[in-house]
Amino acid sequence: QDYSFQPSHYTSARSLGTWLQEQGIPGIYGVDTRAVTKLIRTQGSTLGKIEIEGSMLADSFEFTDPNLQNLSAVVSRIAKQVFLPPPLEDGCANPEQEASSIANKDVHILAVDCGIKNNIIRYLVNILRVKLTLVPWDYDFSKEEFDGLFLSNGPGDPTHCTTTIDH
């Protein structure tokens, strides 16, 4: 769809562009997002720049390739953290989903944080009710005791995580 410079809804007080400008939020239009989506689906993540007519030339901006750095190291926690499930309220547990015990022993999952989403932590702890130990991407977990190992996905090229792979 094309960008409408004039607001058309009867309750609108200003245009989207005006609101974005007031909030200090940049916006673009005239980009065929379907073509961009097709490009990403066929070729994977692609580096690029958006040039704005009348501004500095794109060549004058430094171009950083995020795939050249270990992004997991940038987003990972720096210290070990332990999460315990909250106490059960009567009738709140769903026995079909719960993984909290195996042979009357609490389930302990060790998760390596290479960019883990907080919702994954909430699901494991609050819904599946497991004890979760979350460690940084480069943590040596080889001497730890746990029932399951969870390697989180994360940003960037996984070949930069050789320390994780070595453990």
**Residue-wise over 128-156: b if at least 16 C-beta within 10 A, else e?**
bbbbbbbbbbbbebeeeeeeeebbbebeb
Q: What does the pLDDT average to over 120-142?
A: 94
Report the C-alpha gap between 78 and 144 in whole angstroms.
17
In terms of Cβ atoms closer than 10 Å to its own Cβ (0-12, 13-18, 19+), residue 1 is exposed
Identify whether the C-beta of residue 150 lies closer than 8 Å to the C-beta of residue 125. no
Using pLDDT thresholds of 50, 70 and 90, give the confidence band for residue 103.
low
Q: Does pLDDT of 2 surpass 60?
A: yes
Q: Does pLDDT of 60 surpass 80?
A: no
Report the C-alpha gap between 50 and 44 in whole angstroms.
18
Instruction: Enter the tokens of residue 86.
Output: 């909250």
- 159 versus 92: the higher-pLDDT residue is 159
Q: Does pLDDT of 133 surpass 70?
A: yes
What percent of the chain has a predicted confidence (pLDDT) above 90? 38
Q: Which run of H or of E encompasses 128?
A: none
Report the C-alpha gap between 128 and 111 in whole angstroms.
14
Using pLDDT thresholds of 50, 70 and 90, give the confidence band for residue 80.
very high
